[in-house]
């Protein structure tokens, strides 16, 4: 596979690294904390790819393209770090170096406690808001990467945050989960092909 960037590569023609944050293993697959994995799995299906181990990087990747043929078509690397959430930064930074991806072309998809369930917020840069996956990425690369924040809401009652994010979506939430994951995948595609501002105007509901 071609893993080089054209000479003089810039954000306009450099590849995008789209990272779904989550924890590896079947016991975590349906957790709220793994919604990033769910979104990149759907994106991989859309481009007809299957995740494979990424050389020495502790991650699985799919390479492909997003967008209609023409100027908006973008080469993308979909990635799932296999290091567990709290150590996501190392594998992501290794992939960024390998594929020659500018930091502004890195996009993290992650669960967000401070947003209602299913609501999306797209942004560039910012803090980690206590999210350990973002904290690890920012420590490894700095904060100036894109984020698609997928709202999961706050835990009910006195449930601890750690317990809440590592539980599966509730039966009521699962009724709408496919729709929300599909919409998040649409938002990722829009951000990559149309730019942040246009994607925000559509998906920052």
Q: Which residues contact 4 (CB under 8 A, 6 or more apart)?
A: 100
- CA neighbor of 83 nearest in space, from 104, 53, 44, 51: 53
What number of residues does the chain have?
Answer: 205
Instruction: Answer whether 122's CB lies under 8 Å from 204's CB.
Output: yes
Residue of 33, 110, 131, 146 with catalytic role: 33
Instruction: Answer whether 79's CB lies under 8 Å from 55's CB.
Output: no
| Residue found under tokens 């999306």 | 120
Render 9-49 in DSSP notation, one character per residue.
Answer: --TTTS-EEEEE----SGGGTTBGGGHHHHHHHHHHHHTT-
In degrees and rounded to multiples of 5, residue 116 shows phi and psi of: -60, 155
Instruction: Give the E-state strand segments of the chain in sequence order.
Output: 16-20, 52-53, 59-66, 74-81, 106-112, 120-124, 146-151
Is 146 designated active site?
A: no
Cross-strand partners of 60: 53, 80
Residues taking part in catalysis:
33
């Amino acid at each position: 596979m071609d893993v080089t960037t054209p000479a003089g590569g810039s954000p306009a023609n450099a590849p995008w690294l789209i990272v779904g944050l989550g924890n590896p293993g079947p016991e975590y697959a349906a957790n709220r904390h793994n919604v990033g994995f769910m979104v990149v799995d759907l994106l991989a299906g859309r481009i007809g790819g299957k995740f494979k181990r990424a050389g020495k990087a502790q991650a699985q990747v799919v390479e492909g393209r997003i967008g209609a043929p023409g100027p908006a078509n973008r080469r993308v690397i979909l990635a799932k770090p296999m290091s567990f959430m709290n150590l996501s930064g190392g594998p992501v930074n290794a992939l960024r170096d390998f594929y020659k991806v500018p930091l502004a072309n890195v996009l993290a998809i992650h669960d967000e406690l401070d947003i209602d369930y299913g609501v999306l917020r797209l942004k560039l840069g910012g803090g980690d808001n206590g999210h350990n996956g973002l904290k690890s990425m920012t420590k490894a690369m700095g904060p100036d990467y894109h984020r698609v924040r997928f709202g999961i809401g706050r835990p009910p009652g006195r449930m601890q945050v750690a317990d809440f994010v590592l539980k599966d979506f509730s039966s009521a939430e699962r009724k709408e989960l496919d729709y929300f994951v599909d919409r998040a995948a649409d938002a990722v595609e829009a951000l990559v092909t149309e730019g942040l501002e246009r994607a925000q105007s559509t998906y920052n509901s």
